[in-house]
Structure formats: C-alpha cells, structure tokens
Structure 1
Amino acid sequence: MYLPPYHRLDDRDALCALIETHPLGTWVCQGTGGLIVNHIPFLLDRGQGPHGTLLGHVARANPVWRTWSADTPCVVAFQGPQTYITPGWYPGKTEHGRVVPTWNYTAAHAHGVARVFDDRDALRALLNRLTDVHEAPQAAPWRVADAPAPFIDQLMRAIVGIEIPIDRLEGKLKASQDEAWADREGTVNGLRACPGEAAQAMADLIQKALDTDTKP
C-alpha cells in the first residue's frame, strides 16, 4: 500500500478497532492459477500472536483452501470510513482556484500466512465467538445453541476454518492531512452538513487530525 508519511496509521489499537468495527475483509491470496479474492467476515483475536490473529471460515466447496499457496503470505484488506471530498468546500477555491477533488478513506492491511483448521470443537468455538460478537447489539441476541444441534452439525460439515496469524499490520488514514489548514476546516464543515454516517465519521477523523497537528 502506498503510504506517504502524513497518511501512515501506525497506532495498533486504532488499526485493531478499525478491523473490529469493519470486519468484512477482502482476502487476497496466491492460488495455483493466479490471485484468489474472497470477502470474509473475520474475528480479530488481539491476544493470539504478537500482532493478533484473524479467524474466519469459508464454505468447504470454496476451492480457495485447497488451491492457495500454503507458504506464500496473503493479505486481508479492511476498509473503514470513506467519502468523496469536493473542492467546493475549500476556501482555496475562491482565493486561488488551485484545488481539485479527492477521496478520503481509512484502511488496514493484515499480512500473514493462512492456515486451515477442521477440528469440530475449534469450529464450534469460532462460530460461537463470531455469533456472540455480531449478535451483541440485538435486544434478544441469537445464539448458536438456539438452533437444533443436528442442524448446526450438518452446516458445520460444510465449512472449514481459516486462521491468519498477522505477521505485519499496516494502516492508512487519508483525512485531508496534505491540504491547506483552512481547506481542512472547510472540509469538516462541509461533511457536517452532509447526511449519512460515513460523512460524519470522516468529519470526526479530519477534526481529530486537526486537533493533533500544529496549525502553521
């Protein structure tokens, strides 16, 4: 990932939080016939390994776990808040006109060698953890044990587990840090007037970067 110094995101807690908040990862690995891309909801176990471990599962019918290059590192990309930025929000548009649109975003890339596991107890434990995490916001959370045991056992036979110990975790926060200070403030104001969670989340990130930086 291209990482200018002003867009680097090295805060491990922030990167882990991004993964946990946006757990659907784009998993890219090398297969025998070329690159293989899958979109998998991952669980991040922060305490397993020096950089954490990603845990998920795929359908047994998915050829990825039979055809990936077992010794070749793969990458899982997680996308956080992102939004288009119009130069119409920049005071610089009126002052000098030397402004153009851009796109702000946050991303985390987890690199590591994937492994497959098929142990029934380990799979069940993973399904319980995934379910508990994602059902937590519900008023009456669904549990794996709520379904008939034979039904769950049948479905478990149709999946395999994937774990990716993270060897390297890199992140990018593109939040207008390379723009003029007044244009950054104008972007926050413009986003605040936009509907939707993505715009408000990006406004928060830009404001946080402003609060952290020193005004020239």
Structure 2
Amino acid sequence: MYVPPHFAETDVEKLYALIENVALGTLITNGRSGLDANHIPFELNRTQGEFGTLHCHVARNNSVWSDVTNGDEVLVVFKAADAYISPQWYPSKHEFHKQVPSWNYLVTHVYGRVTVHDDERYVRGNVARLTRKHEASQPVPWKMTDAPKEHIDIMLRAIVGIEVTITRILGKYKLSQNKEIRDMDGAGTALVTQGDDVVGNAMLEQARKAEEK
C-alpha cells in the first residue's frame, strides 16, 4: 500500500482499535490456486505473539483453508470508513479555484503467517468469543447454549479455524492532512452534516491537532 508520510498512522493502539471496531476483514491469500480474497469477521488477541494474532473461521466448503500451507504469508485488510470529498467543501477553493475531488478513508493492513486449525476446540472457542463480543449490545444476548447441543456440534464440524500471526501492521488515515487546516475542517464539517460521521469526525480531530502544533 502506498502511504505518503502525512497519511501514515503509526499508533498501533489506534490500529488495533480499528480492527476491533470493524471486525470484518478481507483475507487475501496466494495459495495453490492463486490469488483469493475472503471477507471474514476476525477476533484480535493483542497480546498473543509479538504483534498480536487474528483468529477466524470459514466454512469447510470454502477452499481457502485447504489452498494455503501453514506458514504462508497472508494479508488482511480492515476498512473503517471512506467518503467522497467535494472540492466545494474547501474554503480555499472559493478563493483560488485550485482544488479537485478526492476520496478519504481509514484502513489498516495486517500482514502475517497463517495457521489452519481443523479442530473442534479451536473453532468452538473462536465462535464463543465472537458471539459474546457481538451479542453484548443485544437486550437479550444469544448464547451458544440457546441452541440444542447436537445442532451446535453439527455447525462446528462444518467450519475450520484460521489463525494469522501478525508480523507487520500498516495504517493509512487519508484525511486531507496535505490541505490547509481550514480546508480539512470545512470538508470534515460537511461530511458530518451529511451523516458520514466516521471520516468527518476523524478529519475534524486531525484539524484540531494541526491547530495545536
């Protein structure tokens, strides 16, 4: 990924938070059948390994788990949000007319080594943890024990676990940091007004930080 210095996000804690908030990542592999991409909810363990570890599961019928070899390098992409940026939102455009449309976004790329876990204990633990996390906001959280044990056992046999030991994390927060503070603020305000809160608020935060320098 091309990351100009002014768009680089190097705060690992912020990148971990993005992964945890987004959860759904794009797993990109280059196995025996060539390039493949799968969209999978991941669980991040920040303290497992030097840079953390990602855990997930896929359908047994999905060939990705049998197409890779343990130790293969993989890439997982997490995108928090993106938004079109109109040059009309930049105050400087109305003075100098030297702005063009752009697109802003917040992404994290995770590089790592893959390990396949074709065992019931791993997938049961992964499903249980993902369920607890994503059901926590429900008035009555669903639990695995809400379904008959026999049914859960059948479902677990139909999936295979995948672990990604993280070797490198790369973050890119493209938020118009290469523009004037007033332009960053103007575009961020316009995004928030139209409901694109994630990118808009991130731009406003960057504008505030730039003002404090």
Report the TM-score when normalising by structure 1.
Answer: 0.94
Tell me by how many angstroms 1:39 deviates.
Answer: 0.5
Aligned residues: 213
Aligned-partner SS, 1:167: strand
Q: 1:119 to 1:70 in 2, by over 3 A?
A: closer
Aligned pairs for 1:196-211 within 5 A: 196=195, 199-211=196-208
Aligned-partner SS, 1:114: strand
**Partner deviation per Cα, 1:36-65 (whole Å, 9 max, x = no partner):** 110110011111112111000001111111
Q: Does the CA-based 8 Å contact 1:19-1:108 persist in structure 2?
A: yes
- Alpha-carbon distance in 1 for matches of 2:209, 2:66: 47
Aligned pairs for 1:184-195 within 5 A: 184-194=184-194
Q: Does the CA-based 8 Å contact 1:181-1:215 persist in structure 2?
A: no
Tell me by how many angstroms 1:214 deviates.
Answer: 4.3
Counterpart code for 2:42? F
**Pair 1:177 & 2:177 matched:** yes
Q: Which 5+ residue runs of structure 2 have no aligned equivalent?
A: none
Counterpart code for 2:145? A
Aligned partner of 1:212 among 198, 206, 209: 209
Give the stretch that moved more between structures: 82-91 or 62-71.
62-71
- Alpha-carbon distance in 1 for matches of 2:212, 2:131: 45
Q: Which residue of 2 aligns with 1:154?
A: 154
Aligned-partner SS, 1:48: coil
Counterpart code for 2:139? A
Q: Which residue of 1 aligns with 2:8?
A: 8
Counterpart code for 1:4? P
**Pair 1:98 & 2:98 matched:** yes
- Alpha-carbon distance in 2 for matches of 1:123, 1:35: 25
Aligned pairs for 1:105-144 within 5 A: 105-144=105-144
Q: Which residue of 1 aligns with 2:47?
A: 47
Tell me by how many angstroms 1:215 deviates.
Answer: 6.8
* Percentage of matched positions with identical amino acids: 41
Q: Does the CA-based 8 Å contact 1:74-1:113 persist in structure 2?
A: yes
Tell me by how many angstroms 1:15 deviates.
Answer: 0.4
Q: Which residue of 2 aligns with 1:78?
A: 78
Q: Does the CA-based 8 Å contact 1:27-1:74 persist in structure 2?
A: yes
Aligned-partner SS, 2:54: strand
Tell me by how many angstroms 1:141 deviates.
Answer: 0.3
- Alpha-carbon distance in 2 for matches of 1:28, 1:13: 23
Q: Does the CA-based 8 Å contact 1:43-1:130 persist in structure 2?
A: yes
- Alpha-carbon distance in 2 for matches of 1:185, 1:165: 38
Q: Does the CA-based 8 Å contact 2:70-2:116 persist in structure 1?
A: no
Counterpart code for 1:95? E
